[in-house]
Structure 1
Amino acid sequence: MSCFVNLLLSLVLLLSIVPAAHAVQKIEFWTMSLKPKFIPYFQELVARYEAAHPDVKLVWVDFPWDILQLKLITAIAAGKPPALVNLSVPWAEEMARDGLLEPVDAYLAAPGKPVDYTDAALADLRFQGKIYGFPHYSNVNVIAYNRTILAAAGITRAPQNMDQLLEQAVTIAARTGKPGYAPALGKIDGFLMQQGLDLIRDGRAVFNSPAHVALIRKLAVTYKANGFLKDKLFAEDNFPAVVDAYLGGRLGMMVSAPTAIRRIQTDAPDIYAQTGIFPMPPGPTGINDGGWMFHFAIPKGVKAADLPAITAFARYLTGDANQLAFARIAGVMPTTRQALANPYFRQLPASSVDAAVGAGAAEQALMVAAHSMNSARSLYVSGIDDYDELRRFLVQAVEAGVTGRRDIQQALDEAVQIWNRKLAKGKTP
């Protein structure tokens, strides 16, 4: 019996001095519609991080954009949320308002290091004084212009504001017979906000103010003078028509994200050879056009004990090196200062500096965009059910006013009444 006891004691002693297997923490992160194009990118990123952090097991899950939100809400309700989820800013604002996301202010930078995300990116994710995500990527618009057309119109300088842009569009039409500009008036809500004009104030629609009417009247003047490309001008997405017109040499200036310049280079080398780049002028608020940011948020229900490891990975996932790599593949713009300062965005290749023939327009677009990124914001209207329906009424009113079918003030007044009836109904318990 004593021998058996001694054996047990020996086993207990042996087990007590053998180190226990180190626990591995699983971090599941969800993305939105990034497969299959980005499979190699994320496989390499995961392998690299796990090799440096053997105590972490990463699980990447990608959902189509139209089901991700439902999957996320279901997972949160079941108490099994992912550690990180890829969201747009409007989705984040709505979910933060409903208490479904965790604020991350305390985790944006590693201890002792400064926050590297741009001010604009952080402002996009600041709701009620707290930040609800790690910025990943966004974009900003530039103006690609046809040198031959602008030279014929006598235009040599970039527009400094919207008034000058509209004036140049009219000048181009008058002197060349071609439209100068193609705004996305099917997204007039963002256009108005970028120009510092609110749609809603204190719970009521206000887009029939004298300032709103004055801006729509300027659009109507430009339209009447044939300064606008009229193809699909009020469509929800007029960009395909805009690109086709620019590729065909039928449009003086095309407003787009830098990635679209590569399409010109591929599809119309002759037009690309005479393409120059202007910055898109910011609105009175200082906000630059074209921002639409995506980021990684932490859903409600993630264990507090897991946050250090999760947020360390989030900083890696959205750090400057990985943002730069992702931006180059995806044709988007990063949201960290270091990535934006990289030579990829700041230096023209030696073979692409002959501006006289338009060479290097794609690289010039990246440089111009990088300088504008700290003012690129996601502009949207939040907290309204069936907002797309209301926006259609606004677009219809603007179209009627711009094309001269209706008095601008009356058209906007009627749309405001429709909005306010809907807004008042939404307040009813």
Structure 2
Amino acid sequence: MTAAVAGCAGPATAQEVTLRLVAAEYGDSAGNSSKKYWDELVEKYEADHPDVRVQVSVYSWNDVDRKVKEMVAAGKAPDMAQIGSYAEYAARNQLYETGQLLSIPVQADFLPQLGDSGKVRRIAYGMPFAASTRVLFYNKKLFADAGITDTPQTWNDLAEDAAALKANGVKTPFALPLGPEEAQAETMQWLLSGGAGYTDGVGSYKLDSDANIETFTWLKDELVAKGLTGSTEPAKLNRADAFAAFSRGEVGMLNGHPTLMEAAAKQGVEFGMVPLPGRDGAARANLGVADWMMAFKQNGNRQAIGEFLDFVYSEKNVLAFSREYDLLPVTTSASEAMSAGKSDADLTPFLDELPQAELPPVGKKSWAEVSAAVKERIGKAVSENGNPEAVLEGLQQMAVSAESADQ
């Protein structure tokens, strides 16, 4: 979907600046399309800045990263892009540093863990634009029907609850989407709950750590092999399909983000939300996910870009976007406002997770390649004849190779 946002009437002047922004689509209908959000925001900005026009092109998530890549390769980079990753462009010295664009108060307002994740070699290039965390959703009716009175606090609790749900005829006691759509996020959620992650304490890839191997061995032996993850193999189950099944009342538990709330509520599913338990109690950390804004240097509109982005990241605009799409604010001021607002109470479990959230290693240029490999291979680790250790060792070798190639 492409939207050229109209500016103020009248002929252009020699001093007029036109900024071009490529943005991702967060809506699911014409009524809540991202086009509508950007139309309204740009109209307000241009009313106070008659010498600036902002043209916004909105594409689906299936296309937006590719569109920007093609534009850059053709020598026609947009002034700004709001997409899924920034590290590749930063590594090629194609982006402005955040400090060259935003005012100091706006820079300082980013939530620390999100702002830090926008850095490559300790310099910020990626500006967080939208964030979410993951929590464990459970179907209250299915739990009650199976005689489950408490939410799981440990992995063993989760497996026991899943077994009770299966015994009571639940189609999918625990949905484990390790299909190619978003397996990298589900994987990281489990790695964190097992006490590790994609990287070690100094930021080097460590996919084949003992803790990670133990995590996927447990998933294979205690959930998948016992038939607790439903009839669809995890390697073939995508997140969207798992969410749809939960919304139909067919799934007892799964990891989900805020958009699942509305989808499930629309179909009358009464659900609860708790943190995903760790091996023996609370997880070491929880998964955080962010989408990014970046600014390309090619057209040289640094000052105009910075002034526009200061407006984009005002508390009012960050709140408006977050509320429209059930996402978490990326700034401290908007987060505090949302936490205090009664109308935002449904998002409290996710907001509570954000301060302790850990993001994937998005600052590594190699992450795009590693993420793609995880999506392709990780489901095999829990398959009937799968070998978690071998799969994770293979991914580790690939990650080290990709990292070395980027040095």
TM-score with structure 1 length normalisation? 0.72
Q: Distance in 1 between matches of 2:237 and 2:361?
A: 15
Q: Distance in 2 between matches of 1:236 and 1:317?
A: 36
One-letter amino acid matched to 1:105: G
Distance 1:419 1:318, change over 3 A: same
CA deviation digits over 1:144-188, x for unaligned, max 9? Answer: 3222332355544444455554454345445x3435422323326
Q: Which sections of structure 2, spanning at least 5 residues, go unmatched?
A: 1-12
Q: Which sections of structure 1, spanning at least 5 residues, go unmatched?
A: 1-20, 350-362
One-letter amino acid matched to 1:234: A
Q: Which residue of 2 aligns with 1:26?
A: 18
* 2:404 matches 1:412: no
- If you compute each CA radius of gyration, which structure gives the higher value, 1 or 2? 1
CA contact (8 A) 2:106 2:310 kept: no
CA deviation digits over 1:366-414, x for unaligned, max 9? Answer: 22112223344442675178647743664254123xx3x35x4xx5236
> Aligned to 2:273, which of 274, 277, 281?
277
Which structure has the highest helix share of the two?
1
Secondary structure of 1:54's counterpart equals coil
Give matches, 1:132-281, under 5 Å.
132-153=125-146, 155-160=148-153, 162=155, 164-173=157-166, 176-178=168-170, 179-186=172-179, 187=183, 189-195=187-193, 196-199=195-198, 207-219=207-219, 220-235=221-236, 237-244=238-245, 246-267=246-267, 269=268, 271-272=269-270, 275-281=271-277
Cα offset, 1:104, TM superposition:
0.8
> Aligned to 1:292, which of 273, 289, 306?
289
Q: Distance in 2 between matches of 1:262 and 1:32?
A: 20
RMSD: 3.8
Q: Distance in 2 between matches of 1:185 and 1:144?
A: 17
Give matches, 1:283-322, under 5 Å.
286-289=284-287, 291-303=288-300, 306-322=301-317
Q: Which residue of 1 aligns with 2:5?
A: none
Q: Which residue of 2 aligns with 1:73?
A: 72
CA contact (8 A) 1:139 1:332 kept: yes
Q: Which residue of 2 aligns with 1:15?
A: none
Distance 1:207 1:296, change over 3 A: closer
Give the percent of matched residue pairs that are identical in Structure 1 and Structure 2. 19
One-letter amino acid matched to 1:95: Y
Distance 1:320 1:94, change over 3 A: same
CA deviation digits over 1:2-45, x for unaligned, max 9? Answer: xxxxxxxxxxxxxxxxxxx8933333222234696233322221
Cα offset, 1:125, TM superposition:
0.8
Q: Distance in 1 between matches of 2:233 and 2:92?
A: 37
CA contact (8 A) 1:229 1:242 kept: no
Question: 4+ runs of 1 displaced by more than 6 Å?
Answer: 200-205, 282-285
Q: Which residue of 1 aligns with 2:8?
A: none
* 2:96 matches 1:102: yes
User: What is the aligned residue count?
Assistant: 374
CA contact (8 A) 2:118 2:125 kept: yes
Secondary structure of 2:236's counterpart equals coil
Q: Distance in 2 between matches of 1:295 and 1:428?
A: 24
CA contact (8 A) 2:198 2:360 kept: no
Secondary structure of 1:252's counterpart equals strand
One-letter amino acid matched to 2:46: E
> Aligned to 2:87, which of 68, 86, 93?
93
Q: Which residue of 2 aligns with 1:399?
A: 382
Cα offset, 1:346, TM superposition:
4.7
Q: Distance in 1 between matches of 2:158 and 2:327?
A: 25
Cα offset, 1:262, TM superposition:
1.4
